[in-house]
Structure 1
Amino acid sequence: MIVKNTNEGWRIITQTNHAFLATQIAQALKENFRTEYWLETLLAISNHETLETDFNSGERINNLNLPIDFREATSSKKELYSKIESMVRKASNRSIIVGALVAEHLMFLHKGDINKKSIITLCKETIKNAKSLHKIDDTTFERMYGVVRFCDRLSLMICTEELPDLDRKFEINDSLDIGKVFLYLKDKSIKVTPWPFQEETCSIYIEHKLLTKSHFKDDSDFINVFHKSLVERSIFELSK
């Protein structure tokens, strides 16, 4: 989960809602970024964060009884491997292409952390088998995965408020086939250059919950308060 301590309370964005925001971003891209496997690409983006990354694994609160942001959470190698295996296999049950894209993304995100041969083999074999079964060449697969990585990164920057001050630009990444893409803030909107989206402006949103309780007894207390809290919405405008 993505956690921010605000004056009103703890703002919590689930990993799965971050993935939904990434899917909104993908759907707004120009059509030339789409391959014949566009549906599978969207499914990979929406499923690259699953319930395993919300509340079903890892820590929720720290030893001070405060919510833990995913960037601060720790997990054992055993937990990491179990999560990766579960996510790749579940994604592959939707489509082996979805599984392959999720496997590629997990290897990118956890590069240097994965050293268990069976997990590496699972990811690489899933990618190999998807390419073979559907006759996907390396260039096409790279274009598909580039969309996954771009949308995930931009969504995460918005969710974590990793946004530049006025008159500064932050690089999103260079995973689309148009080179490096940057964002900056102007007139209360997020400017993106070069512009990768179909329309001249697009509106996207995230949902979050605001928890007004300052401390939590344990994980169960936190989850109970989370589920009882109302959903709120934040809208963002992307423009040239």
Structure 2
Amino acid sequence: MIVNHVPAGWQIIYQQAHALLAAQLLHQWPAFLPCDQWVGLLAAAAQHDDEQQDWDGHYGITPAGAPANFTMKEFSLEQATGLMKAARFQGRWRSLLTSMHLSTLYESLRGQNPETDAFLDEQRACQKRWLRELKIKKADAGRAYTLLHWCDRLSLIFCRQELPEMGRALEIYQGPDGQPYHVLQPQAPGPVRVQPWPFRDKQFTVSVEATVLHQLQFKDDAELAQALRQAPIERLTWDLAKG
């Protein structure tokens, strides 16, 4: 979960919903891949946070009883393995992109746990094999994955309320063209700007659903889960326009 502290209590955005927002952003980029690969890239973006574990014990709450943000959770080999198993049902290209994402996120954990190291080694080996079998250059796959990472980052900026105040610009990430991009919210009311503008349309809207919890503390996962099922849902939207 992505957890934001808001005046009403807690604003909860599920990681799968954040991934769908990333896919909305990617959909607005001019396609630079064949149709099958472009759709596979969209699928990888939309499903890159799937296979989340069921809550068990205090998996969903902090020691103080608050909803736990995803950054407070340790690496889950079970979730990562499940994500790769699910991706393979959609083919080697989708699997390659998902594997590259997991390598990017978790390669820094190498050396801490033999099981994690074995998983990371498997990703490296699979990526080489899929590139060879698909006859895709490593640089071309890297360009596609960089766009997924870029959209993932911008989606997180929106979902985690990280847009800077006072019209300041925040770097998103390097784009697939190797160029850095920045996002800013003008001081006067108006749409979000991305500089330089990479999208197909000159103006569009993206959205994500969030759950609002008025209760601040929970005794266990079961109480939190019950509250989430009963809580109101709001739709958060962002208008983006070329400046």
Q: TM-score, normalising length from structure 2?
A: 0.90
Q: Does 2:151 align with 1:151?
A: yes
What is the CA distance between 1:125 and its match in structure 2? 2.4
Contact 2:144 2:176 in 1 (8 A): no
DSSP 3-state at the match of 2:145: helix
Residue equivalent to 2:3: 3
Aligned-partner Cα distance in 2 for 1:54–1:144: 31
Aligned-partner Cα distance in 1 for 2:58–2:96: 24
Residue equivalent to 2:234: 232
DSSP 3-state at the match of 1:94: coil
Residue equivalent to 1:191: 193
What is the CA distance between 1:145 and its match in structure 2? 0.4
Residue equivalent to 1:25: 25
Letter in 2 for 1:71: T
Aligned-partner Cα distance in 2 for 1:12–1:90: 25
What is the CA distance between 1:162 and its match in structure 2? 1.0
DSSP 3-state at the match of 2:11: strand
User: Which of 80, 84, 101 is the matching residue for 2:80?
Assistant: 84
Relative distance call for 1:35 and 1:6 in structure 2 (3 A) is same
Aligned-partner Cα distance in 2 for 1:56–1:85: 18
Residue equivalent to 2:117: 117
Residue equivalent to 1:64: 64
Residues matched between the structures, number: 235
Relative distance call for 1:51 and 1:119 in structure 2 (3 A) is closer
Fraction of identical pairs, as percent: 26
DSSP 3-state at the match of 2:20: helix
Q: RMSD of the alignment, in Å?
A: 1.9
DSSP 3-state at the match of 2:212: strand
Q: Does 2:205 align with 1:209?
A: no
What is the CA distance between 1:6 and its match in structure 2? 1.2
Unaligned 5+ segments in structure 1 are: none
Which consecutive aligned stretches of 4+ in structure 1 deviate over 4 angstroms post-superposition?
53-58
User: Which of 97, 103, 106 is the matching residue for 1:101?
Assistant: 97
Relative distance call for 1:231 and 1:85 in structure 2 (3 A) is same
What is the CA distance between 1:129 and its match in structure 2? 2.5
What is the CA distance between 1:35 and its match in structure 2? 4.3
Q: TM-score, normalising length from structure 1?
A: 0.91
Relative distance call for 1:53 and 1:38 in structure 2 (3 A) is farther
